[in-house]
Chains A and B, each alone.
Chain A
């Protein structure tokens, strides 16, 4: 099963240059059944990333461009009166799909955001009292542009919790950017990408990830970090136990990608900023100082002991 993942990564690398880390993290979310919030400026390849991932999996890909005037029904779908049958018929919106790119979600109204986030959380939509579950795999990759504040509706913290990971793309290096240009001269490589994994295989992988062993001492490590965020004086609100669960699941997936059947503290250490970063609320003072939650998490990790022996109850 490993080879599927490696193939997907290879595919993405064909399109994206030097974005293996982001690709891996995206796959972590995909394997865990979680969603990703990509935060970065336009033009660094967010869309390309999601598309190449969707194409590699051979899944149904949909894209929703969020605008201020987008309505919840534009996301979840609408019931239309069919004069022939004299009945309302439900036309599912773009949210009903396997891999969804939700572009610039902070530009739309909170009402629409809530519709999206609810669908993400429940993996189902409710229209006119009818609930329709969204077929699996269901993977939302939302992007948001951090520099535009004018006319945006920042997502409330409670809703950020719906995302398993928050990832930044970052600019490519000089070498990488030259390579980007070189490729842009020719045909778009995205067109050449072929599916290397079926949806069924993906679901199987998702089940396999749940079997990855996580030793109790390593679980303890997660808890230690989570508790430390709650006790940190610069943090207004620490992470919830749900976040701890999220980190554990993400670490299982990450270990799986690395070809291991057990989780190491290294996995936790690596993933903690991505999983916890957007779930922390810093105190206003701290925010004013320009300190990011990721920095606080790094500090916390530096002060947390890594478990180096098996957990014993006694």
Chain B
């Protein structure tokens, strides 16, 4: 009796230590995935450990754990009471839905309850492994090493600060290792437990570990030997711990661009429009080396009448005016501008339309000057059309129009190589349009990649454009558009940076034949407008994978005097444009549902968790010859005895034997093999078992053989295979 209680005390002690080590797993995961409910998760571990300590029967422990998980999921994710029919229904429906998601490979959309379930399963497996390591192997080294690896990985790759955790884990782990080593030694030498004797070994261990830990904390740490394993980390440290992950969408502050962003498929607008087009919100003109600001005062705005809401892009050759109807799904006080917009119409007597001078942004305000989002409004516009002839004709000085100097602003610190690159790119181009086009094309051909994840943020003295053009060459719309504006300005073409939304997803058609677009936060976009002398502002799209072609009237054939080569050029350009538009449509078709980016930070953690699950499974497989026999024996005891039991049992035995290098050769008879096995193990059990099995397969009557007579031999052999 005393021995038994002693055993419980010992195990409890071990499990308390293990509990604290395991706790260090949960804390960062919960913190990083904002899962919450740390206490409930810890309670699960505590329960599981208690069940292990008191060696609760298999089925009881399963029932308790499954019930706990079910209770957790139902009570956390639904309002419902724990084991009501609705709760169970919710669980089953969720599992079913997610399994089909998993089967479809749609891992990203797995729901949170199911993630929790998977997480619980992972914890459960870990607990099982810990139990195995503790009771069978009597060493937790794998677990210890795994924990250290886990925490240091998280510390390196995420915002989680594992400093305290790693110290705790190392100390606890060392204590645990020492304790188990002593336990193994005692088992090997057959020493019985005597408290005073035990303490004589245990105390020095504790003292040593404490001393080592103390020293380790005090010792100076070398700076990271691995400066930036992933740009992402740099990005984190560059921001001084501030998480630079931004959600996609339209924000106000563009003064520091860069960094990854999270996808957000919230629908912001539904647009009924005759054309697929970009929707402008505002422009910015001042490049700060890190991002964009506006030189003007935000408050410098004036009221415009609904029917004269012009923007600085006007149609050259008037096309027929058309209307688009915009239905904001989320309150937004700015107005989406179509190119060639002439008026904004809305039916809200209390709302007034203001335009900011500097940015051309339209805001709607109430009488008291506060934001007054509209429920719907109509945008009347006539898409600008540009004459190819005009675009291709160099302007004379007399035709130069006045353009504000601010559209040529560049920071003094702008590295020279940006200017050189821009100059090289436009070399030999005769008109502004050709130059702008050359720069636009440079991004499509210059070896750039479109990427929303792990996009770098420029550090202290780094220029955002320079970094993108020469160092990273990966980024998203902001990188491309900003770079193009800067390049345009450096070759003397006035340019500005435009924020707005890309086309959106076409979902339907209205009865009147308008196309219905859903514009998500994911469609937030930025692009370029360049001022073409003699023509005016013209949009350009440098970002890879996006196409927004201006309507160009290929009017040159009308001009008889145009040189032959220019006509050819025109034809080429026309084909080029058609090709791009086609490619884009193809792409959209293929990936109509593809998201801008994914949930960056937590996908890291989920990735690590997934890796750990794989690792656990891997360890399980690797050590299966250690634990599977026990499972077999358990399973065997449950099974009714029949001829097929003998056959399946024998098969299991054969498979287990292969683990210890005993494999029947194809030409070897069972009895010969059995002889070999028996020789190896120094028994005659295999021959006994084989004789019965042979009867089962070779003799006339297969059913009158009882498994019982060989049960002991079989179990003995199975156990021998674990050794």
Q: How far is the CB of A275 from the nearest CB of chain B, in Å?
A: 17
Question: Digit string of B663-676 for contact with A (CB within 8 Å is 1, else 0)?
Answer: 01011111110000
Nearest CB on A from B389, distance (A): 81
Pairwise interchain contact B670-A308, C-beta atoms closer than 8 A: yes
Minimal beta-carbon separation of A163 from chain B (angstroms): 26
- Of residues 645 through 690 on chain B, the ones whose CB sits less than 8 Å from some CB of chain A are 647, 664, 666-672
The reply to whether B697 and A266 contact each other, CB–CB distance below 8 Å, is: no
A19 to B165, CA, bound (A): 78
| A262 with B669: CB separation less than 8 A | no
Contacts of A301 in B (CB 8 A): 667
B154 to chain A: closest CB distance in Å?
Answer: 51
Residue of A nearest to B693 (CB): A308
What chain A residues lie within 8 Å of B695 (beta carbons)?
Answer: 262
Interchain CA distance A49-B669 in the complex, whole Å: 31
Q: How far, in Å, is A246 (CB) from chain B's closest CB?
A: 20
Question: Separation in Å of the A257 CB from the closest CB of chain B?
Answer: 16
Contact A215-B671, Cβ < 8 Å, known A305-B666, A306-B666: no
CA distance A304 to B670 in the complex (A): 14
Cβ-defined partner of A261 (8 Å) among B667, B670, B697, B700: B700
Confirm or deny: A271 has a beta carbon within 8 angstroms of a beta carbon on chain B: no
Which residue from A264, A269, A302, A305 sits with its C-beta under 8 Å from B698? A264
**In the complex, which residues of chain B have a beta carbon less than 8 angstroms from the beta carbon of A153?**
none
Taking a contact as CB atoms under 8 Å apart, the answer to whether A305 and B699 are in contact is no
* Distance, CA A266 to CA B687, complexed state (A): 13
B669 pairs with A305, CB closer than 8 A: no
Interface residues of A in 212-265 (CB under 8 A from B): 213, 215, 217-218, 260-265
Residue of A whose beta carbon sits closest to that of B697: A310
Interface hits, A4-37 → B, CB 8 Å: none
In the complex, what's the smallest C-beta–C-beta distance from A1 to chain B, in angstroms? 18
Once bound together, how far apart are the Cα atoms of A259 and B664, in whole Å? 25
- Cβ A215 vs Cβ B698 within 8 A: yes
Nearest chain A CB to B701's CB is how many angstroms away?
A: 9
Q: Which residues of B contact A213 (CB under 8 A)?
A: 698-700
Tell me if B694 is interfacial: C-beta within 8 Å of chain A.
yes
Q: How many residues of B contact A (CB 8 A)?
A: 16
Per the bound structure, the CA–CA distance linking A120 and B699 in Å amounts to 33
List the B side residues contacting A262 at CB < 8 Å: 695, 698-700
Contact (Cβ within 8 A) A261 B699: yes
Q: B702 contacts which chain A residues (CB < 8 A)?
A: 310
Interface residue ranges of A258-314 to B (CB < 8 Å):
260-266, 269, 301-306, 308-310
Taking A213-B699, A213-B700, A215-B699 as contacts, is the C-beta distance between A264 and B694 under 8 angstroms?
Answer: yes
**A218 vs B672: C-alpha distance in the bound complex, in angstroms?**
16
Cβ–Cβ < 8 Å partners of B694 in chain A: 264
Contact A306 B699 (CB under 8 A): no
Complex contact A265–B669 (CB within 8 A): yes
Kindly report which residue of chain A lies nearest to residue B695, judged by CB atoms: A262
**In whole angstroms, what is the CA distance A263 to B694 when docked?**
10
Cβ distance B203 to chain A, nearest Cβ, rounded Å: 59
Most chain A Cβ neighbours within 10 Å, of B668, B672, B699: B699
In the complex, chain A residues whose CB is within 8 Å of the CB of B700: 213, 215, 261-262
- Compute how far the CA of A54 lies from the CA of B694 in the bound complex, rounded to whole angstroms: 34
Chain A residue at minimum C-beta to C-beta distance from B702: A310
Question: In the complex, how many angstroms separate the beta carbon of B549 from the nearest chain A beta carbon?
Answer: 66
Neighbouring B residues of A302 by C-beta, 8 Å: 667
* Residues of chain A contacted by B670 (CB below 8 angstroms): 264-266, 306, 308
Question: How long is the Cα–Cα vector from A310 to B696 in the complex, in angstroms?
Answer: 9
Establish whether residues B697 and A308, one from each chain, have CB atoms under 8 Å apart when the complex forms.
Answer: yes
* Min C-beta distance of B620 to chain A, whole Å: 29
Taking CB atoms, residues of chain B closer than 8 Å to A217 are: 697-698
A232-B373 Cα distance, complex, nearest whole Å: 93
Complex Cα gap A269–B666 (Å)? 13
Task: Look across to chain B and name the residue whose beta carbon is closest to the beta carbon of A310.
Answer: B697
Which residue of chain B is the closest to A214 with respect to CB atoms?
Answer: B698
CA A178 – CA B647 in complex, angstroms? 48
Shortest Cβ distance from residue A179 to the other chain B in the assembled complex, whole angstroms: 28
Are A304 and B699 within 8 A (Cβ)?
Answer: no
How distant is the Cα of A261 from the Cα of B700 in the complex, in angstroms? 8
C-alpha gap A305/B700 in the complex (Å): 22
Report, nearest first, the 5 A-B pairs whose CB atoms are least far apart: A262-B699, A213-B700, A266-B669, A305-B666, A265-B669
**24 intermolecular pairs with C-beta atoms under 8 Å apart:** A213-B698, A213-B699, A213-B700, A215-B698, A215-B699, A215-B700, A217-B698, A261-B699, A262-B695, A262-B698, A262-B699, A262-B700, A264-B670, A264-B694, A266-B672, A303-B667, A305-B666, A306-B668, A308-B664, A308-B670, A309-B647, A309-B697, A310-B698, A310-B702
A213-B700, A262-B698, A308-B697 given; 13 more Cβ-contact pairs under 8 Å: A213-B699, A217-B698, A261-B699, A261-B700, A262-B699, A264-B670, A265-B670, A269-B669, A304-B667, A305-B666, A306-B670, A310-B697, A310-B702
